[in-house]
Amino acid sequence: MSIISDSLKRIKPSPTIAVTQKVRELRAAGKDVIGLGAGEPDFDTPENIKQAAIKAINEGDTKYTAVDGTPALKKAIVDKFKRENNLDYSIDQITVGAGGKQVLYNTFSATLNKGDEVIIPAPFWVSYPDMVLLAGGKPRIIKCTEEEGFKLTPKKLKKSITKKTKWLILNSPSNPTGVGYTKKEIQDLAKVLLKNKKVYILSDDIYEHIKYDDFNFYTIAQIKKLKDRTLTMNGVSKSYAMTGWRIGYAAGPKGIISAIRKIQSQSTSNPSSVSQAAAVEALNGNQNFIHVRANSFKDRRDFVVNCLNNIKGISCKKPNGAFYVFPNCKKLLGKKTKLKTDTDFVQKLLIKQNVATVQGSAFGLDGYFRISYATSMENLKKAMGRIKSFCESL
Ligand code: PMP
Ligand code: GLU
């Protein structure tokens, strides 16, 4: 008899975390690796936020807190939703966890029964299907092609809803493609969802503030008739460069929020008190740096997309958000290059040129790879040169 549970055997370790760990190991072994695998801002947490945490420590804010968030942080989250999304929530409609990841994990654990289906448009963030599997649910992966802009169409959504569908996950701007859904696209999906009264929507808005050009962020809970069955997840990791602080949150129906609280009371008790104090300052403090940083991400995006499109065999669409691009490498796969899959491509790129990226198949769409451009321009220049040399050597 195995000591390991059956449910754990259904899942694999996170591939994005695995590549980040691999980069750490290669660097420790003295290799000059450029990491384009990790999905986290390279910027430091802003000074006012750090000071709020130091103050919290000095003032003894170091004890257990309420299970799903301090009243001050919940109030800051309620205010954020009103200010930025024109959404009204009461305090008991808010939950705070140790990162958006824990909020998602709690949500699936709290709501899925064996066999319940979750619609996950692909390319998807790597953790969604495994979290669903761990909770006993069934991921229903819907491939969204490059021609479709990597986005779910109303037609595909309609076809994928069954009697067992419990959730639809929407992630805009998206990890790994960087594409965002327009208001019109969300309204068109909503029309399908309004016809089926049972499906709940999990909107992962973690890249809300990382957007470019004239893209206007719109979230599905803004559609009044869907608000009561939408859980909107967000967090401070990406917008405020706070990945290590581990604070994420969600707003939605009271029943789901209290079910999440029950799970958290029996698992982590509460997110770190100090990180919560820092998150209050992040949400209530000066927001100007968000635009400054988004501008610098935009310069990097433009540079990377331009370089990639000048490499023979690679093509790359210009996305309007997040800090990822999802280039197509299908022309470089096949007999001639002896690379069968995108996994072969990224592995060989790492071995030959010391550039770490993540294969598209990890996100549910083969023939692509993900680049995170949340690193310095200097690194990006070096990396683009190496990727070009690699592709030309094939
Ligand atoms: N959703 C998406 C799409 C992500 O890319 C991430 C980043 N890991 C998360 C949720 C969770 O972020 P965190 O746990 O750092 O809040
Ligand atoms: N979201 C980031 C990524 O996709 C961080 C790693 C993770 O949690 O998956 O790379």
Assess whether the C-beta atom of 16 lies below 6 angstroms from ligand 2.
Answer: yes
Q: What is the pLDDT of residue 136?
A: 96
Class of domain 63-284: alpha beta
Give the pLDDT of residue 205: 98
Ligand 1 pocket, residue 39 CB under 6 Å: yes
237 close to ligand 1 (CB < 6 Angstrom):
yes
Q: Does residue 17 line the site of ligand 2, with CB under 6 A?
A: yes
Average pLDDT, the chain: 97
Ligand positioned closest to the Cα atom of 99: 1
Which residue from 120, 237, 249, 372 has its CB within 8 A of the most atoms of ligand 1, so it is best to mutate? Answer: 237
275-327 pLDDT, tens digit per residue, is 999 999 999 999 999 999 999 999 999 999 999 999 999 999 999 999 999 99
Query: Using a 6 Å cutoff on CB, does residue 100 contact ligand 1?
Result: yes
Domain boundaries, the chain: 6-44+288-393, 63-284
Q: Point out the ligand nearest to the CA of residue 239.
A: 1
The band of 70, judged by pLDDT with boundaries at 50, 70 and 90, is very high
Nearest protein CA to atom 1 of ligand 2, as residue: 39
Q: Which atom of ligand 2 is nearest to the CA of 15?
A: 9
Q: Looking at ligand 2, which atom is closest to the CA of residue 38?
A: 10
Q: What is the mean pLDDT of residues 82-111?
A: 98
Write out the chain in H/E/C secondary structure. Answer: CCCCCHHHHCCCCCHHHHHHHHHHHHHHCCCCCEECCCCCCCCCCCHHHHHHHHHHHHCCCCCCCCCCCCHHHHHHHHHHHHHHHCCCCCHHHEEEECCHHHHHHHHHHHHCCCCCEEEEEECCCCHHHHHHHHCCCEEEEEECCCCCCCCCCHHHHHHHCCCCEEEEEEECCCCCCCCCCCHHHHHHHHHHHHHCCCCEEEEECCCCCCECCCCCCCCHHHCHHHHCCEEEEEECCCCCCCHHHCCEEEECCHHHHHHHHHHHHCCCCCCCHHHHHHHHHHHHCCCHHHHHHHHHHHHHHHHHHHHHHCCCCCECCCCCECCEECCECHHHCECCCCECCHHHHHHHHHHHHCEECEEHHHHCCCCEEEEECCCCHHHHHHHHHHHHHHHHHC
What is the pTM for the complete model shown? Answer: 0.97
Q: Which of 95, 101, 246 to probe ligand 1 with, by most ligand atoms within 8 A of CB? A: 101
Give percent above pLDDT 70 in the chain. Answer: 100
pLDDT in tens, 114-132: 999 999 999 999 999 999 9
**Is the predicted pLDDT of residue 359 greater than 90, yes or no?**
yes
The CA 126 to ligand 2 mean position distance, Å, reads 8
Q: What is the pLDDT of residue 297?
A: 96
- 339 CA from centroid of ligand 1 (Å): 31
Q: What is the CATH number of domain 6-44+288-393?
A: 3.90.1150.10
C-alpha of residue 222 to centroid of ligand 1, in Å: 22
| Proximal ligand: closest to the CA of 40 | 2
Q: How far is the CA of 119 from the centre of ligand 2 (A)?
A: 20
pLDDT of residue 175: 98
Please tell me the predicted confidence (pLDDT) of residue 38: 86
Q: Which atom of ligand 2 is nearest to the CA of 358?
A: 10
Neighbours of 40 (CB within 10 A): 17
Assess whether pLDDT exceeds 90 at residue 197.
no
> Where residue 1 falls among pLDDT bands split at 50, 70, 90?
confident
Q: Give the pLDDT band (50/70/90) at residue 63.
A: very high
Q: Is 204 in the pocket of ligand 1 (CB under 6 A)?
A: yes
Distance 101 CA to ligand 1 centre (A): 6
The reported pLDDT for the residue numbered 269 is: 97
Nearest CA to ligand 2 atom 3: 39
For the segment 4-53, what is each residue's pLDDT rounded down to a tens digit? 999 999 999 999 998 999 999 999 999 999 999 989 999 999 999 999 99
Residue 173 beta carbon below 6 angstroms from any ligand 1 atom: no
Q: What is the pLDDT of residue 360?
A: 98
pLDDT at 139: 98
Ligand whose nearest atom lies closest to the CA of 17: 2
**Chain segment 208-244, per-residue pLDDT in tens:** 999 999 999 999 999 999 999 999 999 999 999 999 9
